[in-house]
Amino acid sequence: MSELFTKPTLLLVDDEARITRSLKMLFRGEFEVLTTDNGHEAIEMARQQTISVVISDQRMPIMSGVDVLRGIRDVSPNTMRLLLTGYADLAAVIGSVNEGEIFRFLQKPWDVEQIRADVRAAAQAAEISFAAARHQQSQPAPDPEKSRPGILLLDRDPAAHELVRRATPPGNALYWARNLDEATELLAQQDIGVMVADVMDGQASHVGAIKALKQTHPGLVTIVLTQLRDYELLVELINQGQVFRFHPKPGHIGTFTKNMQSALDYHQVLQLKPETQKRHAVAKSAKPLLTGLSDRVMGYFRRMGVN
């Protein structure tokens, strides 16, 4: 007997049986739920069948969650990836965004309604991504010379400008904003695809603005370049700002150049397949986004529908 409606598949990867049992009970009404405690097996499952969403624990004996999600990204890039952990592990947060390109960073114990909302949003984004990938197979290959978006640096640090300048490919314009007023003016005037930003400007924070920019510019790909090592802040920026890469200052030029090219490549994908911008849907921020910004910057965001 065939089914008219097929549930999306959710894969749970965790070595704690009570965790997989609890999550399976929570989602089995909406999803076809698969479970495993083995990261290698999880990657092979994603290679063999369509997995819409995967939730992986970070600390497991055979393979870390970051490694599992990186492996699944390689074999099934349209699967939406979420990392789950009960520890304030900064290295895991950085690895999850840089290597796993995750959709959400989930923390134990979880809020039932929030995790349901996050997994539903992930499943919707996966459906769009898999459909776009099938459609793209019948389309001609894009001409990379026709897409040379600008790069915006939001940081007054000359050393940061030198790093970004060296990593900017020939043909892509680099714009340097020393503050948010200059950044919003450049975003309004120029074709910018990638933003590199520090999260702090002296005592002022750019966090709210980075989150707001993801709402107003869904095709903008953001790299955070900073000395700040704040676990909670980075989790916020992943879940509510969808940062693409986190690069600690001062950083290595070789690694940063790779991050820059990856960001430009991903921006091109978002331009060619705008429907995949759903993969960057952000979680609602519990904090006001525009607090402390200048009247001109607040006016910019409010004209674009952010309050």
pLDDT, tens digit (0-9, with 9 covering 90-100), for 139-193: 555 565 566 899 999 999 999 999 999 999 999 999 999 999 999 999 999 999 9
> For position 6, what pLDDT does the model report?
84
Architecture of domain 150-281: 3-Layer(aba) Sandwich (3.40)
Q: Mean pLDDT, the chain, as a whole number?
A: 88
Mean pLDDT of 270-295: 73
Helices (H), the chain: 17-27, 39-48, 65-75, 90-98, 112-136, 158-167, 180-189, 207-216, 231-241, 253-272, 295-303
Q: How confident is the model at residue 56 (pLDDT cuts 50, 70, 90)?
A: very high
pLDDT value at 85 more than 80? yes
Q: Is there a contact between 36 and 11 (Cβ–Cβ < 8 Å)?
A: yes
- Which residue in this structure is represented by tokens 């999260």? 199
Q: Is there a contact between 117 and 28 (Cβ–Cβ < 8 Å)?
A: no
d(CA 52, CA 61): 25
> For position 50, what pLDDT does the model report?
96
> For position 19, what pLDDT does the model report?
96
- Between CA 273 and CA 107, with CA 215 as vertex, the angle to 5 degrees is 100
CATH number for the region 9-138 comes to: 3.40.50.2300
Domain-wise residue ranges, the chain: 9-138, 150-281
pLDDT value at 138 more than 70? no
> For position 2, what pLDDT does the model report?
43
Peptide bond into 77 cis (omega under 30): no
CA distances for 194 relative to 11, 219, 248, 267, angstroms: 32, 9, 17, 7
Contacts for 108 with CB less than 8 Å, ≥ 6 apart: 19, 84, 85, 86
Higher pLDDT, 125 or 186: 186
> For position 277, what pLDDT does the model report?
66
Question: Would the CATH topology of 9-138 be identical to that of 150-281?
Answer: yes
